[in-house]
């Protein structure tokens, strides 16, 4: 059973999501929060698998709450999905850098929300297909001097290649076609790369690809 925590200051939004999620055989709502501070506290208490976190909330905003959750080693397995009103919310980029596994617009289709919850539990990044390339381009534009990642030296040549392809927004299937391997092989390479670098998920791997300089600004494959 996938346990979800809902953090949103609008009661009707929480009620709608609760009804949808609890109707699924493999998902249950483990808790709710109406502001970021409450979200951090409740996450520590119930240890959900996924947090659906609104970016704009009173007391403590969703971005700061996400950073606190993702920096807490005890909550390493908790995945955070940001909820935003607009696809290119100015805080989305910083949210991903802070450790969020992805984001969804609030008016997303129910099926997409359910797919998202299940996807992040599997370790996949949830970057809406319609904005993934723009999100990555924004990361590239905002990238500072490449940081030193000792973990890059642990990667094989193929793993570095795969990481770069993840960095420009390719899915496992697209990586498989690019490298002429099976999707399962591509997924294995991605998983091994995340383990070696200590990446929480695919979204963090994208951030590392840019911040390490492995992928250069403007290179969108």
Q: State the DSSP H helix or E strand holding residue 80, giving kind and residue range, or none if neither.
A: strand 79-84
* CA distance linking residue 16 with residue 150, whole number of Å: 45
**Percent of the residues in the chain that have a pLDDT greater than 70, as a whole number:** 81
With CA atoms as reference, report the closest residue to 142 among 217, 57, 46: 217
Give the mean pLDDT of the chain: 83
CB 95 within 8 A of CB 139: no
Average the pLDDT over each of 3-7, 133-137, 191-195 and give the range with the smallest value: 133-137
> According to the model, what pLDDT value does residue 3 have?
97
């Amino acid at each position: 059973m996938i346990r979800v925590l809902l953090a949103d200051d609008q009661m009707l939004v929480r009620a709608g999501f609760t009804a949808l999620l609890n109707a699924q055989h493999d998902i249950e709502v483990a808790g709710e929060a109406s502001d970021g501070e409450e979200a951090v506290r409740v996450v520590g208490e119930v240890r959900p698998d996924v947090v659906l976190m609104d970016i704009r909330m009173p007391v403590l905003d969703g971005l700061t709450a996400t950073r606190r959750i993702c920096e807490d080693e005890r909550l390493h397995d908790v995945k955070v999905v940001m909820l935003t009103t607009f696809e290119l919310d100015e805080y989305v980029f910083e949210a991903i850098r802070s450790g969020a596994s992805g984001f969804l617009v609030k008016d997303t289709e129910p099926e997409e929300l359910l797919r998202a919850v299940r996807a992040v539990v599997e370790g996949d990044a949830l970057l809406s297909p319609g904005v993934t390339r723009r999100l990555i381009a924004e990361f590239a534009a905002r990238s500072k001097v490449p940081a030193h990642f000792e973990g890059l030296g642990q990667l094989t040549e193929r793993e570095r290649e795969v990481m770069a392809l993840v960095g420009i927004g390719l899915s496992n299937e697209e990586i498989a076609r690019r490298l002429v391997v099976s999707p399962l092989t591509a997924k294995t390479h991605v998983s091994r790369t995340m383990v070696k670098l200590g990446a929480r998920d695919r979204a963090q791997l994208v951030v590392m690809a840019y911040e390490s300089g492995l992928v250069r600004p403007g290179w969108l494959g």
